[in-house]
Structure 1
Amino acid sequence: MFYTKDKELVNILSVYEQYYKEVFIDEVSPIIAESNLIDTFNRLYSLMIPCKKIEEAEKHIESIFNDVGYCFLGGYTQEYLGPYIWKDTTPITYKVMLHHRPFELTVNMC
């Protein structure tokens, strides 16, 4: 659960909430709900060049979250859109064996 008093972040999350309502309650197809999501973000931000793809809109949204100290990852989980938001990332390096050879693997923990 993500909680904030920042009105702009609350507005963004409300747009995603509307998307979830359309897809899971109103049973709107994910493609149409995604189009509605993009349209809403375009209206909300009155961008000089309106976004045509969700990746473009989420790039803009990512910068808004980054500006106030949060990390943001948009995109799809299965066939549904959704934001992942977190505060801190801590890289941890593990030594692992793959095909009988040692490797170092860095994992960014949230």
Structure 2
Amino acid sequence: TIEYMNQQQWEGKRIKKFIADKQLLKEICGTYWSQELETQYVIYLQDGKLMGHHARHGEFSIRYVHDNEFNGKPSFFNFFKVERNKSGNITGIYVTNSRVRDLWFKNEE
């Protein structure tokens, strides 16, 4: 139960922590290019953890949320969702943060 200012209450359902399987994490690995920003991010596995890298910003951690959605630790790569084609292959990602919504990064692999 969540209570707001001792007045309203909302009932909620506890969600179990989801641990992504290694195959899913491997699938997301690759290089993603934004034509609009003319920049790329590389997503890779390091010691079983999903990581990202940008030439100027360096290395950062990425956490699987659910389905095809992920969170990045830095504010510029705060949230992204994976786009797949009909065959299930990853075509790219849509990045959202405080300054942009659904910025397209194409999978270069």
Q: TM-score range, shorter-chain basis? A: under 0.3
TM-score normalised by structure 2 residue count: 0.27
The structure whose residues are more often strand, as a share, is 2
- Answer 1 or 2: higher relative contact order, Cα 8 Å, separation at least 6: 2
Task: Answer with 1 or 2: which has the greater Rg.
Answer: 1
TM-score normalised by structure 1 residue count: 0.27
